Amino acid sequence: MSRPVRFTPTSKDGLFSAMWLDEPRELKSAGFTALLKSLQTEAATVGWLHTNLPEPLTGSLTPDIDASAATVAVLAGHGDNAGGALKLRDGWWSGPDVPMPSLRLAVLLACFGGRIRPQAPLDLGGLVVRFLASGVRSVVAPKWPVEGTSGAAFVESLVSRVIAEPDVRQPHQTARLVHATLNEAFGNETGAARAAAALFSCFA
């Protein structure tokens, strides 16, 4: 596993990102390299904290995100078809289990990451539900399988837009930014990139 790359935050915000795949060769073919470089550039430019873990992870992501004091988190990897977990090296992570009120946005680039499923009567489950229940103000995730390259392009565009407007903090403001990014993708992109944008939803 490669060691984390960290930037000391010099502003009021922090960016946490974790990316992992089953095989190293997927990093190039899935388009994660472009997204990774973009996030590193954003982090270095504005002095945010950035953590890069481009290998299958072990354990839980919760302590890493919690310790980062981040306000924006990007998680990219494989999801299960019920939308309830992200695949790590030693099992499945079902979302944060501690309060994370500092996170104003979590972006999941994982197939089915935005699916919400019924559990007990009058109860819901899924990654999105766990993030919102932990205090995260907005979550952006795809409800269906998403292709890596085009999905990464959408996430890159969205995160860049959020970083450019640090005063956007309320869920409805974040939702407006997400929909503006989606509309831009529909208006300016074609083929796979446009199709990928249609797969993402904003939960706030």
Tell which wins on pLDDT, 202 or 24. Answer: 202
- Beta-ladder partners of 79: 86
Tell which wins on pLDDT, 79 or 13. Answer: 79
pLDDT given at position 113? 92
Distance from chain centroid for Cα 179 = 16
- Beta-ladder partners of 118: 124
pLDDT above 70: percentage of residues in the chain: 71
Residues whose CB falls within 8 Å of the CB of residue 99, separated by 6 or more in sequence, listed in order: 134, 135
Here the tokens at position 37 are 């470089």
Here the tokens at position 60 are 């839980």
Here the tokens at position 38 are 């973009």
Q: Over the stretch 139-163, which tens digit does the pLDDT of each residue have?
A: 999 998 887 777 888 888 888 888 7
Is the pLDDT assigned to residue 2 strictly greater than 50? no
Q: Which of 10, 91, 89, 95 is nearest to 44 (CA)?
A: 10
Q: Over the stretch 23-41, which tens digit does the pLDDT of each residue have?
A: 656 655 556 777 777 777 7
pTM: 0.84
Distance between CA atoms of 141 and 157, rounded to whole angstroms? 14
How crowded is residue 169: how many other Cβ atoms within 10 Å of its Cβ?
Answer: 14
The strand pair at 200-203 and 139-142 is best described as: antiparallel
For residue 11, what are the CA distances in angstroms to 46, 47, 69, 171? 7, 7, 12, 21
Q: Which domains does the chain have, with CATH numbers?
A: 15-203 (3.40.50)
Average pLDDT over residues 151-177: 78
Distance between CA atoms of 4 and 6, rounded to whole angstroms? 6
Here the tokens at position 91 are 């099992």
The strand pair at 91-93 and 124-125 is best described as: unpaired
Residue 62 is inside which H or E element, if any? helix 62-68
Distance between CA atoms of 170 and 190, rounded to whole angstroms? 31
Most confident listed range (97-101, 138-142, 159-163, 191-195): 138-142
pLDDT given at position 124? 82
